[in-house]
Structure 1
Amino acid sequence: MPEYFLDIEYNNQIYGLDEMSFKEFECCTFNNCTFSACNFMDVTFIDCVFNDCIFSQGKINHVALRTVTFNRCEIKDVNFAMCSKLIFEVRFEDCVLDFSKFYALKIKKTPFINCSMIAVDFMATDLTEVLFENCDLYRAEFGQAIANKANFKSSRNYTIDPKTTKLKKAVFSLEGLKGLLYKHDLIVN
């Protein structure tokens, strides 16, 4: 049975390899914590908030993220595809998610606000109604994704092939249309 922690605030902690395994956190807040060395195993976060935390290269195998908010976090090269798919609900604001993977996850209505998402893997991901607000999506991969009603209007640097990505009623700015036409070698001025 995992250890259970309720309504606790953690500040300036650096967690080691197995320190986070087999635990459940509910309504907890983590401020300025570092999880890069962690090998998360069977961990659940419910209604938790992470502020100014570092997860880069952390292994989040079998982690449940249920209504979890990440603010100003560095989350480079993290494989979210290994998370529990049951009630996977996250929010990212002012985060660096470069090289992370959301492969084949269902992340409907997830907000990504002011995030760097360079080379993020969204292949085969359900992005229905996802909000990409002011995000840098340079080299992000959307092949086989479902991005119906997704909002890319204020984001930039994306290249999406409408033949391999479902985009029905997705929202783009006029400036962003060139990211949909790149494959056709057209010049848009």
Structure 2
Amino acid sequence: MKLILDNTFEKNNYTSLSLETGEYDSCVFEACIFSKTNLSKSTFINCEFINCNFESPLLSSTSFKEVAFKECTLIGMQFEYCNDFLFEVSFDNCVLQVCSFFKMNLKNSKFNNSKIIDVDFTSCNLYAVIFDSCDLSKSIFANTNLEKTDFSTALYFSIDPENNKLAKTKFSNDNLSGLLKKYDLDII
């Protein structure tokens, strides 16, 4: 596998192409487009994706290790097809829509000031994950480990306490209604 070290990729359009399979270490991708791009079997270590657009890229056996997504739009990303060994990602000021982390280990991950719309977290390990100022509209939490997860500044989530593992999970008084939606209560 080819090693690509400390490179910056700017304004590249990889639509319907394959990114060169390799190990990208300490690389920066800025204002790039990854629409239906084949990222399979590539490894990204300590990389940053800044202001990039992703739409349904192929992620079979893709590795993300200490990867930061900043100001990116990610639509239809199926992270469950990634290599889960040392999988570590963070999202800052991003839009994630119709993505899936099914059965992924996201322990200690950070989501900051992001719109996380219609994202599947079913059977995930979200132990000590921080959702800081995130919109979680229509996102799915089912059979999910939410121990020590911080939802204190999150908005619009719906979590069934009977169908998820909650212990020391953080909520604020203002967003507790997200735990009661299934009961169709009027909370004033």
TM over 0.5: yes
Letter in 1 for 2:159: I
- Alignment-mate amino acid for residue 25 of structure 1: Y
CA distance in 2, matches of 1:184, 1:16: 44
Displaced runs of 4+ in structure 1, greater than 2 A? 16-19
Identity %: 32
Unaligned runs of 5+ in 1: none
Q: Which residue of 2 aligns with 1:180?
A: 179
User: Which residue of structure 2 lines up, in the alignment, with residue 7 of structure 1?
Assistant: 6
Matches of residues 3-152 of structure 1 in structure 2 within 5 Å?
Answer: 3-152=2-151
TM-score by length of 2: 0.97
Distance between the aligned counterparts of 2:40 and 2:170, measured in 1? Answer: 38
| Counterpart Cα distance in 2 of 1:158 and 1:74 | 20
Amino acid at match of 2:54: F
**Cα deviations by residue, 1:79-102 (Å, 9 ceiling, x for unpaired):** 001110100000100001011000
The structural deviation recorded for 1:17 is: 3.4
Structure 2 gaps, min length 5:
none
- Within 2, Cα distance between the matches of 1:26 and 1:185? 49
Query: 1:82 & 1:21 partners in 2: Cα distance?
Result: 19
Which has the higher mean CA deviation after the structures are superposed, 179-188 or 6-15? 179-188
When the two structures are aligned, how many residues end up with a matched partner? 188
Q: What SS does structure 1 have at the residue aligned with 2:59? A: strand
Q: Is the 8 A contact 1:21 1:42 kept in 2?
A: no
> What is the TM-score of this pair, normalised by structure 1?
0.96
Q: CA deviation at 1:22?
A: 2.2
Moved more, 87-96 or 34-43: 34-43
For residues 1-35 of structure 1, the C-alpha deviation after alignment (integer angstroms, 9 at most, x for no partner) is x2210000111101143431521100000110111
SS state of the match for residue 121, structure 2? coil
